[in-house]
Structure 1
Amino acid sequence: MKLTGLIAVATFIAGAVAQTNFDLSTLNGTWHAVGLQIGLYKKMFAVTKIYGVDVNCPRILIAGHSTNASYIEPAVQIGIHNNTSSSVEKYDVSASGVATLANVSDPTTASFSAQLSIPSAAKGKIANHVHMLDAAFSGGSAENPLPHGPDYQATVNIRLVSSKNDGNNDAMLLSLSDISKTQQQQQQQQQLVRRDRRYQALLVKDRNTLDEQSLNTITTNHPEASGLVLVNMCSQ
């Protein structure tokens, strides 16, 4: 058996064992960002100012894909100001991917190896020189998450937490690190690595919002979340 085959089998066995300690189905659903790392929030705000667009409703859809992997679809809503019609044209921009269970610390904490395929965007421009996004994105599906292969890979760490300190894990701390741009097939050894970058977000299901007291409860119990600020970007 080739080395790649052995690695694949080992990964599957490790994931299957880890699955007994972490219920992957608890992640299923659409999670909306209610807290963002301050640096990430400033970058998103800067984009709105520089390019004259609105960035709203950052979220991620998670659905079971296999015994040790989940289909993931990070998405954000982009609002482009049309100066001619004095209106805002909204587009949902999403990426397709798969996250494979890599390690479990406890029943609420796990790390994943993620691969993402980024959708394409049109090159047309509007009056204020913002790239117009194509409404017909060609992304993946739960059955075929990466139809064109992965463009990016990263490590995703997830911790389920309670915002009321009552044992009900109603929120998720998510961190993204070891981000690299994957060159397809024979060019994979030439990677644009961004391992110095680490992004963190706090997410809840069904567009629920958290107040400062809930955030304080989370940061008290989980000091690694102390750099988060509350956001309400999905009210519409």
Structure 2
Amino acid sequence: MAKRGLSPKTIHHRKRVLVAAAAWAIEHELLAPRVLTVPRYRPHPPVTRNHTPTEAEAAAVIVAMKGEDRLAVSILAATGARVSEVTELRRGAIDLRGGWLHLDGKTGPRKIPLFAELRVLLTPYADGSETRLFTRQGQAAPTRIHHQLVATCTRLGQTVFTSHGLRRMVVNRILRSGMDIKTAAELMGHSPGVMLSHYRRVTQEDRAAGVAKAGLGEALVEPSTCSGSGHNSGHSP
């Protein structure tokens, strides 16, 4: 069952069903009692993909993708939106006149400003209709996007990242820009606490830049003595 790709939970459930069926058959003398050795299944630990890509890594993956997959990942990399918010988009959500992209996610509706690059990307699809932006053929769209990201990263020899990695990338960028934390959290559809604990990734460069900007060594600098800066009484000699 494991080789067929079934999850550990499904395997455990089916084993219980088989044991119950065998017990029923033995009780009704339909099956001779036998002691069977059942091998224990030890599932491999789930693969965690916590890599937060750089903008260059994300751009390389986007260039290597095609069609709707490329469009979806481009929107993810530009906005930091959840993959389900992007794959559920309708063309009418692109408001060129008002300058907004309307998203509707698990924390409710919100708006992303249509900055220049995002406007260029989405303008060809902004016909005001309720038509889905993505056809969702084959696998459910979020699952497809996940598999395409993994496959493309692997093909390029890059560290694999997911749509969550792109979300972290955007959070890092907007916070490094100096955007107010509350504004950034509302833009991402999270509370400030959740955004900082789950999506912000602090690097050594962030720490160094923060210390330099804060001027933490100022108290250690001896004040300079300016000549001729004594008190001027205002009287002429």
**Does TM, normalized by the shorter one, top 0.5?**
no
| Greater share of strand | 1
**Which TM-score tier does this pair reach, normalised by the shorter chain?**
under 0.3
| Greater share of helix | 2
Q: Which of 1 and 2 has greater Rg?
A: 2
